[in-house]
Structure 1
């Protein structure tokens, strides 16, 4: 049966204009390296364009790649969380502001600092994590219903060229989180419950967005338990998945409010987000107000582009649901979008916050995989160029944090 499906896939790729894999050593090696080459090619374009913009605006590439959150992560890696009282969004000195940043990324930076230096270590981690995400996406695009090896490679290109994908090349956590998230989803689809639990646990130590991943794991595991398809193995994923995120939230609360109850300790991180960045759950009210203001009176390109990204994400979700693809893909995307759009976080950072919602790109990748190679190259090239400009503009022309 596997041989028959492989033959069908090769025929489909040939019909679409993709050269057949002849099975020789060079072909196999090229196939193995293709996700990395596609990802690195698109990301290299983004960095090159950013380099040009940085020169035009009299700043350095390194300062842009380590700006804003990157500075926080580098300081935490060097000195730990005890950075002293730092003025928060209310201009009140707060010794706990740094604890709003999750620990896994600065820990890895600290481990790799001796051989490489802190800044290089941060960027190397993002590079390696991005490559891991690329191979996970290539696999995801192949194993979903209607997917193929070709669709997987297109999915890698689209992911590397999403709006604000420049963050994947920065001292930010997006690349690391996306790598863990995509391999969690791959493990769920392949019913490798222990791997899904471990990857989700680790993701919970990287970003609060892991809550969306935890929900996806829970839905998949409970469904498997009800259907009795894998015995009690899904329980391993259920037990492991929330441990990272809620463990860090509890630890943060314990450090800030040692004598408080469990509920107050778990909510401490949210309090720090509000105090430091005026970010809190408001049911989407702030996002709705922002969109209304931009559509009726904004004269800044960044605002208009941000609204465009939000609209594109919502449209992509509708397509994902209407195509009735694997439920775990829609559940995860819905979670990421809800956490992003239902908060009062920096509005112009929302394109970056939507980066982990890469499952929205699956229908696009599968549809493109049925087109001729020339069409695929043209579409992916255009998207990559627009993404490169968007990232460079956001980091050099736009003066506020993203």
Structure 2
């Protein structure tokens, strides 16, 4: 059970020198993506910076930062798009940075996302190094940087900020920093609805730790040697010669506090929305319903894919979607078989389930999977076992493809 919870190793992933190759590689890959986007956009007479900071969800975050909550759009079909659907941490940071600098809120969102993407890359490296070693850590960061929708990491969206908070919270759990883990989980819960995945990871690790330590204490209590007749003493098995070894009270308290802290961010915002809308605990669900977002176990997504097979051209897209979903599921199965620590499995599982089983706009699902970085660890481990020249060739080729796709995507339908 210990291997499923954590893998004890010195907490070295936070050292800047150790993370430098991963971060430099990440910056290089993302710079390539931005360069290709700038060239592509210029050729089409568009502004790459506008695409990154003032389109789609980025506009909604900027409005929250500038005007606060309460803005909504009523569509002809009766749907109501309210900005209450957007969690507040990114707009708060945009507002603060704009207040202390000459940047606009939109500019501040871009800066926050760039800095958060570096923090996320560092956190992914720390987690991957802890589990599989330094070389795999570098490969994990590079794989995250070359995902097909990785351009979102450089947009004024909340994915980079959320991934940074999630990665460092998970690393804190793996290394026993419980209060840090709980605090970062609470902040992740203020960033995106999928912050529930980080909360679940902290809770799973905490409950497992309590159960494991209880079982260990009971087992050691049973190992007490029987008292010989007339001896009048009892032999105890324990490091101090007293009661059997048990977790120190401060450690237990920190773990319990972390579990209490973790859900406060998400719960606080959802309850506030419920109070503001007058709908109580279901208020946020009503807001999401106005965007036609919900959780139906994947039924709507299944119908969407099935509809693709009604004609030949769209059937190719349907087949591609099935292959992509199959790859995601396969990667998760491999993560389980490789015995990733329990917090990573819980986090990746919840992120994946929420992304694939939600009834939201289906084109956003690749973006929603972006924070599920533990799914990349099997690929990172395999890549780390190749020769450096071969792994560099693979990453370089995929980086070019990712940059071209990102530029094409943002100049087309873009991330909803």
Q: CA deviation at 1:165?
A: 1.1
TM superposition shift of 1:217:
0.9
Alpha-carbon distance in 2 for matches of 1:90, 1:379: 47
3-state SS of 1:59 partner:
coil
- Greater mean alpha carbon deviation, residues 284-293 or residues 209-218: 284-293
Is 2:164 aligned against 1:179?
Answer: yes
Change (3 A) 1:306 1:51: farther
Residue 249 of structure 1 is matched in structure 2 by 270
- The answer for the alignment partner of 1:105 in structure 2 is 90
Aligned partner of 1:213 among 165, 187, 198:
198
CA distance in 2, matches of 1:89, 1:401: 23
Segments of 5+ residues of structure 2 without an aligned counterpart are 1-8, 214-246
Q: Which residue of 1 aligns with 2:299?
A: 285
1:382 corresponds to which residue? 397
Aligned residues of 1:310 and 1:351 also touching (Cα < 8 A): no
Check if 1:357 corresponds to 2:378. no
CA distance in 2, matches of 1:387, 1:307: 20
- Check conservation: 2:22, 2:139, Cα contact below 8 A: no
SS of structure 1 residue aligned to 2:253: coil
Question: Bigger shift: 72-81 or 378-387?
Answer: 378-387
TM-score normalized with structure 2 length: 0.82
2:47 counterpart of 1:60: yes
Count of residues in Structure 1 that have an aligned counterpart in Structure 2? 364
The structure-2 alpha-carbon separation of the partners of 1:381 and 1:305, relative to structure 1 and needing over 3 Å to count, comes to farther
Alpha-carbon distance, 1:202 to partner: 0.2
Q: Which runs of no fewer than 5 residues in structure 1 stay unpaired?
A: 7-27
Shift of 1:309: 3.5
Tell me the equivalent position of 1:294.
308
Q: CA deviation at 1:56?
A: 3.0
- Seen in structure 2, the aligned counterparts of structure 1 residues 32 and 361 have a Cα distance that, compared at 3 Å, is closer
Closer, same or farther: CA 394–77 of 1 in aligned 2, 3 Å = same
State the distance in 2 between where 1:247 and 1:298 align: 48
Q: Distance in 2 between matches of 1:157 and 1:107?
A: 30
| Per-residue CA distance 1:286-344 (angstroms, 9 max, x = gap) | 11122223355363687765554433212211211122221221111110011111111
Q: Which SS does the other structure have where 1:232 is aligned?
A: helix
- Equivalent position of 1:326 in the other structure: 341
Q: 2:212 aligns with which of 212, 218, 227?
A: 227
Larger Rg: 2
Cα shift readout 1:131-158 (whole Å, capped 9, x = no counterpart): 11111111111111xx111111111101
Change (3 A) 1:40 1:102: same
Aligned counterparts of 1:274 and 1:318: Cα–Cα separation in 2? 32
2:20 maps to what in 1?
33
Match of residue 225 from structure 2: none
User: How many Å separate the matches in 2 of 1:89 and 1:42?
Assistant: 42
TM-score, normalized by length of structure 1? Answer: 0.85
Measured on the aligned residues, the alpha-carbon RMSD in Å equals 2.2
Once the two structures are TM-superposed, the CA of residue 53 in structure 1 deviates from its matched residue by 2.3
- Indicate if the aligned counterparts of 1:152 and 1:365 stay in contact, CA closer than 8 A: yes
Match of 1:346 in 2: 361
Q: Residue 119 of structure 2 aligns with which residue?
A: 132
| In 2, Cα distance between equivalents of 1:303 and 1:43 | 29
> For 1:158-187, what per-residue CA distance to the aligned partner results, in whole angstroms no more than 9, with x for missing partners?
111122111110010000000000001101
Which position in structure 2 is the counterpart of 1:238?
A: 259
Change (3 A) 1:142 1:215: same
SS of the equivalent of 1:171 reads coil
Greater alpha carbon shift after TM alignment, 61-70 vs 178-187: 61-70
Any conservation in 1 of the 2:306–2:318 contact (CA below 8 Å)? no
Secondary structure of the corresponding residue to residue 177 of structure 1 = helix
Quote the residue 1:45 is aligned against.
32
1:120 aligned residue: 107
Distance, in Å, in 2 between the alignment partners of 1:193 and 1:302 is 44
Q: Is the 8 A contact 1:76 1:98 kept in 2?
A: yes
Q: Secondary structure at the match of 1:86?
A: strand
